[in-house]
Amino acid sequence: MSARSGSSNPNRIETAEGGGRPSSTNPTPSPGGRSKGGSGKRPGVTLTATVLNEAGTVVEWWRSILSQTRLPDEVVVVDGGSRDGTVERLRELALEAPFPVRVDILPGSNIARGRNRAVSLASHDVIAVTDAGCVLDPGWLENLTAPLDEDPGLDLVAGFYQPLARSWFEALCASVTLPLPQEVRGERFMPSSRSLAFRREVWERVGGYPEWLDIGEDMYFNHRWRELGIRHAFRPEAVVYWRMRPDLPSFLRQYFRYARGDGESGMYPHRHLLRFAVYGGLTWAAVSRAGRRFLPLALLPACLYAGRRWRRIPAFLRDRSPAEKAAAAAAVPLLLAGVDAAKMAGYLHGLWRRRSGGRV
């Protein structure tokens, strides 16, 4: 169904029940109604996002869209079946939007299916992708899409993300898991789809996001476009602020699921094998009589491994007291070991799902 905001607002606001409609992982949407931009005019941009039960954060996300130095030409949001009033809140916010807004509802859909649905509904050939619940830097969309405007031969732009850490624990989690901009090598960076822009042709050539994969769909998408040799650029100035998990169980569960997606999809096998080898070697050195003489040698790479996380503390806890920074330094190795344990367990579970599901 569709609703209009009244004669004082010319913008279209649509909400649609998308459940039951097919969403292909090999998308071939019709080209009708798509804007490629005319001569001397930059192409239109559709901002797409998925959302599920984000009523408490969607207002801040929406305000960050309205604060962009370049507004999107259209916003398409796919809701996975929220039950906390998210859709109703979005509908209210969209009433005064200076651009068309569409909210599509796909109850029970995973992130990949939601992303594919959003792209298939987009009216423009340049697609910006993010997640509801994040906060966009005011220059995010401008920085993300400017390279595509300036270079017709460029097809994809990777943005960056930084933590939205409002507690000591969240800042600690950021120090353990999130890179600083200076740590990133742009040519090798694998972007999250919370900060990404591409031409529709990229999505079509890749075959869309993998709807059979519940988590890690953006990394799988990245591997596919890299295999195709898609010309891309990295713009660290295009920053999305990402909310960290507020407590230890939800944080460890998050990284368990990420690693499960790696195992299920066959991504990063060497990285996970190295993790098993390192912790296996440390365990052997710690518990066996023969290995104890090698324990100091084994601890050296472990300290190097943790060292990068310690170096992030001044950045991610910059407004914290010296005592809080010292506590974070002490907690980093413990939390890092917990995250790695969650990843190892998740990866093994993903391998089991891969085999039991026939993905060998």
pLDDT in tens, 230-260: 999 999 999 999 999 999 999 999 999 999 9
pLDDT in tens, 125-147: 999 999 999 999 999 999 999 99
Tell me how far apart the alpha carbons of residues 221 and 78 are, in angstroms, rounded to a whole number.
18
- pLDDT on residue 36: 43
Tell me how far apart the alpha carbons of residues 73 and 13 are, in angstroms, rounded to a whole number.
13
> What's the predicted TM-score (pTM) here?
0.86
State yes or no: pLDDT of 282 exceeds 90. no
Tell me how far apart the alpha carbons of residues 286 and 282 are, in angstroms, rounded to a whole number.
6
CB contact at 8 A, 31 and 104: no
Of 15 and 134, the structure prediction assigns the larger pLDDT to: 134
The CATH number given to 2-243 is 3.90.550.10
Categorize the per-residue pLDDT at 14 as very low, low, confident or very high, splitting at 50, 70 and 90. low
- pLDDT on residue 38: 39
Tell me how far apart the alpha carbons of residues 227 and 207 are, in angstroms, rounded to a whole number.
13
State yes or no: pLDDT of 275 exceeds 70. yes
- pLDDT on residue 269: 95
Q: What's the mean per-residue pLDDT of the chain?
A: 87
- Domain assignments of the chain as residue spans, ordered by start: 2-243, 248-356
Q: Which amino acid is at 254?
A: Q
Of 288 and 40, the structure prediction assigns the larger pLDDT to: 288
Q: Quick one: average pLDDT of 347-357?
A: 92
Categorize the per-residue pLDDT at 24 as very low, low, confident or very high, splitting at 50, 70 and 90. very low
CB contact at 8 A, 17 and 103: no
